[in-house]
Chain A
């Protein structure tokens, strides 16, 4: 039965995340936007707490069952609410507080997601509670992540990594980095594997911290690997090179879960801006009514109401993608739909809020301008707007990446 009620467990997550966002993030939002690259120590305990209460945990029997279900989708007789829904509900609230600080929460990053998803119990024991970042992008390899050139070569009992990674979120302050590297360039995408590299290994150097438009509370690092040696069993997943692109597809599949997350972050950030804008305008005497014909609305009222509608649409598209993921339905299309919609609308809503509030919106004494800068990233990372549109278009057309470039 079609239902939009969050189960009690999720309502609790939502409330908890909201309180944390309000009490732990908002008061230090401006501080760490100004103190770019500085680790917000205040939120460390929160990260640890969250890792405990909503953290992924090691991939046990449950995940194996899930793998089976993915291969052979069963007819959904019982519909569940699982980890992805929990993540998007929590993420919207946290991002409502501050999406920069959210990204700086130790143990809550993409690297941790990857470790939770594919590590062996032994690997999880070693890395599961570490602060993990994710290194995919290279100077010459952005959206085309199949073209990465960082290499991993097996030498005895060790992998030797060489290459340069950029845009590694929390790359400086993390304890381990999940690095995408190729074990065989000639194998193309199939040769791409991910490795956990501890930051204290010789041969790993953080060379640069980016100065960014927004999400400044999280650092964004360039990391160079020069003959960086890691133990053989630091590889996530199988070292075998399987049929053509199977391995790579597995890697790409993580996007089906992370894209709705980014969509939820955009929704949360946009909601912050919209709520603030509405409250501020109401204090100035604006009244927002639900029900009048358009000719009875002024431009500000109409625009704000339309943005509320957009926000509702963003959330529903995100919930759908997450719900499908939790129920082992293929959801690449729906994940990209949510990310495409939320990425661009999040940017647009926050930009319009700045405009609607005039000098207040533009002022750094308020947070709206920061939210506008922060939100923009959601239309870029985890696949830009244009990449999402390609995914959506290919899906509905039934086209391959060769048929629609």
Chain B
């Protein structure tokens, strides 16, 4: 029955994440961006919250709470409120862990999930995007060819988070180029596999705190049992949907942050003898920020709600991301505008949110809820 209230447990998670965001993520965001790296101790602090192992069953060493895309959405938004790059980095282990949890074989779960329940931050990654203008997540060019007892993976991936540190990769590849999503599967590759080459971090306009690498697979051979889900395979569309929903949740976080920052600034900034927020030209931009942030949030919720009910949310996730891409750019752009010249200065975070937010439209497979 219609309800906009998170559960009690979800509220506790939100509260915990909010504190972490305020104490750790936001204060370190600018330094991480400028230094192009996130110190290990920040990742460790996030790991200590136990939010990744939370939904891993106890038999694999986790806490055994219910796996919920909705909880993931609530978390992702609040973390991205602090900083999107740090949020993506801290949640990056889930890129591997959640698909295995949901769609892995029993052997795969046993072998891999336990690795995410240890003490230290577990670097693992997902290689989904590919470096070309015409990249489309429904038309993956990286190929997986079966040859007797092995799959041979071939292709180029880009924007692979922490590829240099990751022990485990989930690589998205196509067995049938013409079949789109239906012909696309996920394959588990471990660090150091032959034919796996990891390049220096790529350079992007935003998200600089998060190391993103190009990964080349040149006839990388993996055993048959390394296909996610084994002979049954996995539902790649589901991975894509969860990734889209995650981006929408983060978009809501960025826009909410922009709104709050711009609201505070506009109230304090006095020109012509009164706060600039007293002018409709400014105030109406702020109003739109509030309206669109809520819209994005609920679109993410709706899609996550369907996902949690095991219903197809392809349409909802896709439309939500389309929406979030458009409006995040608009809102963060207006955020800079409210601050005027100051918005353009790197002392204020809005220009960073503007750059990060620009990625919402393009990025797939960098987070999963």
Contact = CB atoms under 8 A, between A and B. Distances in A.
A316 interface: yes
B298 A3 contact: no
Contacts of B284: 386, 389, 393
A403 interface: yes
A320 B294 CA distance: 10
A359 interface: no
Contacts of A320: 4, 294, 298
Contacts of A3: 1-3, 305
Interface centre among A1, A2, A316, by most B CB within 10 Å?
A2
A390 B2 contact: no
B81 interface: no
A2 B287 contact: no
Interface string A335-373: 001001100000000000000000000000000000000
Contacts of B139: 296
A308 interface: yes
B133 interface: yes
A392 B2 contact: no
Contacts of A340: 287, 291
A308 B318 CA distance: 11
B17 interface: no
Interface of B: 1-7, 10, 70, 133-139, 181, 237, 240, 259, 263, 266-267, 275, 277-278, 280, 283-284, 286-288, 290-291, 294-296, 298-299, 301-302, 305, 314-316, 318-320, 322-323, 326, 361
25 contacts: A1-B3, A3-B1, A4-B2, A4-B301, A4-B302, A5-B1, A291-B318, A295-B133, A296-B136, A305-B319, A308-B319, A309-B299, A309-B320, A316-B299, A316-B301, A317-B295, A323-B4, A337-B290, A340-B287, A388-B287, A392-B290, A393-B277, A396-B286, A397-B263, A404-B277
Interface of A: 1-7, 10, 76, 79, 81, 85, 290-296, 305-306, 308-310, 312-313, 316-317, 319-320, 323-324, 333-334, 337, 340-341, 386, 388-390, 392-397, 399, 403-405
Secondary structure at chain A's binding surface: helix, strand, loop or mixed? Answer: helix
- Which A-B residue pairs are the 10 nearest by beta carbons? A393-B283, A316-B298, A309-B319, A313-B295, A392-B287, A293-B136, A309-B323, A393-B287, A389-B287, A290-B318
Given A4-B305, A337-B290, A390 B133 contact: no
Nearest to B295: A313
A397 B5 contact: no
B319 A294 contact: no
Contacts of A393: 277, 280, 283-284, 286-287
